[in-house]
Structure 1
Amino acid sequence: MIKKYEKNPIIFPGGEDFRKVVTFNPGAVFDDGKFLLYDRAAATLSPFRTAIGLFESTDGKNFTPVGDQPVFTSEMLGYPEGSVQDARVVKIDGTFYMNYAFQPYGFDCFPTGEGVPFYDTSKYTDWAKCEYPMITRSGIATSQDGINWEQLCFTSPEEIDDRDHALFPEKINGKFCLLRRPMDFVGEEYGTTQPGMWITFSEDLHDWSKPQLLATAQEAWEGGKIGAACNPIKTSRGWLVLYHGVDENIIYRVGGMMLDLEDPTKVIARSINHIMEPTEYYEKCGLVIPNVVFPTSIVEKDGIGYIYYGCCDTSIGLATVKVEDLVDHLFDN
């Protein structure tokens, strides 16, 4: 059903200085006859500071870089030693919106080959200003041309770890809709014993409704937490949402769910088994984390979903699927 492109990885490290070491977890959008793809890239592992760059393509497969500099950096937020990560991009009413994750200070990344790198913050003393090292905040940047970006707002408070934010590509009942994964929303008061996917609404992108718990891990392959993988896409049968799970062996896989078109707080279908997993060498072996497929965008064009995904925090892969077939599978499995 989901077919990985035979020429993967479609983007790999090298070329521009800021992506010499890794390029992964891309956001993508189709606009004005072009696929725009926003990668997360780093020049070194020590320090491991990532910025967001831009590629473009007319066929969704063969990409060329737009410029030799990132289009969005933590320096633009006032934190020159930090990182911006995992762009997820939509266009609503003529404006591009980029969800991003943000870590304010530097750290070193030492791969272990065991699934979780060793992140060292000992040289970066500004982390003492945060609730704890490696905490991640999320925000939204906007652009009128898809190239020049400026900060709009943060979508999570600075005192909690909250990432995997993804806007719906249109307003629902006159409101923006956002998926998120706050790691600290666990316990009796939150109605869950594990981090999960939450949903919230806003009229202006600044003031958000009280988040509602949308989904938590259910299957062994999902592990102890799940998070949104891509911005949802609209289908005739509901909102299609891809999400990721990580099992006890630290293998990153992908599932899918359908949300009600008028009330996306309702899950109306969901995969039991994963729909993507690491099978190819470039998904099993990488510079940072092994055994990872991590989609951060799905773009629909002519009924085909182009799924762009990070491979082992090192390179970028492409998979395609007939959207109607994937939706049918989620309802029928």
Structure 2
Amino acid sequence: PGLGTDLCMFPNKDAVFFPEPVPGPDGRPSYAMLHRPMWDLGWIREGEIAHLPAGITDERPGIWISYVPVELVEADIRALARPQDHTCVALPMYPYEELKIGAGPPPVRIDEGWLLIHHGVTGEVPDAWDPTTQTVEYAAGAMVLDAADPSRVLARTDQPILTPETADERQGTVPNVVFPTAIEEVDGVRYVFYGMADAKIGVARLDRTP
């Protein structure tokens, strides 16, 4: 309702759940999922145009959130496959995100809200049907989402916090990629595990600075 379309009609990826229930739009405790619907159907059927939901004017893929009230899941686990209240959280904003953005690891609870490490993509994709024509770079940024309303961005990095620099990050199956996928705390220190050029797994220490 309100979007004028059914999100199930579009390809979707980069989905991650919050590790615990969060307040839904109506205040009910809900399981929430971040995901990235893609409006351009040209890569499915050549010549097809982008079909945007009501209120969305930027066709570049961004981060959305959808909810399932806990009470519905407890009554029927299959409710997890029927998320609702789809809301746009963030769209590309900064140069390192010029093509698209998407979620990385599941959000981590911090004092200020929820810490989300996300990926941003720059470069060119001349032909969606021919991956060899793509010259892209994946970098990582960060956002803080409101604990009371996780669809609301409280803060966001205007520069990437991780970029492809090493040989393993710049050469591989897909060159020039760092793709964060997990955060693990070990002895009080948080580490981000990430894909390196789609060929290896790297790890970076995540430090908090004043």
Q: TM-score, with normalisation over the residues of structure 2?
A: 0.75
1:133-144 equivalences under 5 Å are none
Structure 2 residue aligned with 1:160: 10
Higher relative contact order (CA 8 A, sep 6+): 1
Measured in 1, the distance between the counterparts of 2:176 and 2:158 equals 20
Structure 1 residue aligned with 2:89: 214
1:143-222 equivalences under 5 Å are 157=8, 159-173=9-23, 174-184=29-39, 187=52, 189-193=54-58, 194-203=60-69, 204=73, 205-222=80-97
Judged with a 3 Å threshold, the aligned counterparts in structure 2 of structure 1 residues 236 and 303 are, in CA distance, closer, same or farther, namely: farther
Structure 1 residue aligned with 2:193: 308
Residues 125-167 of structure 1: CA deviation (Å, up to 9, x unaligned): xxxxxxxxxxxxxxxxxxxxxxxxxxxxxxx73x421000010
Structure 2 residue 178 is the aligned partner of structure 1 residue 293: yes
Secondary structure, in 3 states, of the residue corresponding to 1:291? coil
- Pairwise CA distance, 1:299: 1.8
Measured in 2, the distance between the counterparts of 1:300 and 1:238 equals 17
Structure 2 residue 105 is the aligned partner of structure 1 residue 230: yes
Structure 1 residue aligned with 2:138: 252
Q: Which amino acid aligns with 1:258?
A: V
Q: Which amino acid aligns with 2:32?
A: C
Q: Which amino acid aligns with 1:187?
A: L
- Pairwise CA distance, 1:210: 2.6
Secondary structure, in 3 states, of the residue corresponding to 1:247? strand
Judged with a 3 Å threshold, the aligned counterparts in structure 2 of structure 1 residues 187 and 217 are, in CA distance, closer, same or farther, namely: same
- Pairwise CA distance, 1:304: 1.7
Q: Percent identity?
A: 35
- Pairwise CA distance, 1:189: 1.6
Measured in 1, the distance between the counterparts of 2:185 and 2:55 equals 35
Q: Which structure 1 segments of 5+ residues have no match? A: 1-155, 329-333
Structure 1 residue aligned with 2:114: 239
Aligned match of 1:278 in 164, 180, 183? 164
Measured in 2, the distance between the counterparts of 1:175 and 1:247 equals 34
Measured in 1, the distance between the counterparts of 2:187 and 2:156 equals 24
- Pairwise CA distance, 1:246: 1.0
Measured in 2, the distance between the counterparts of 1:196 and 1:304 equals 29
Measured in 2, the distance between the counterparts of 1:302 and 1:212 equals 36
RMSD of the TM alignment (CA)? 1.7
Measured in 2, the distance between the counterparts of 1:199 and 1:312 equals 27
Q: Which amino acid aligns with 1:311?
A: M
Q: Which amino acid aligns with 1:200?
A: S
Secondary structure, in 3 states, of the residue corresponding to 1:175? strand
User: 4+ residue stretches of structure 1 with deviation over 3 A?
Assistant: none
1:74-93 equivalences under 5 Å are none
Secondary structure, in 3 states, of the residue corresponding to 1:251? strand
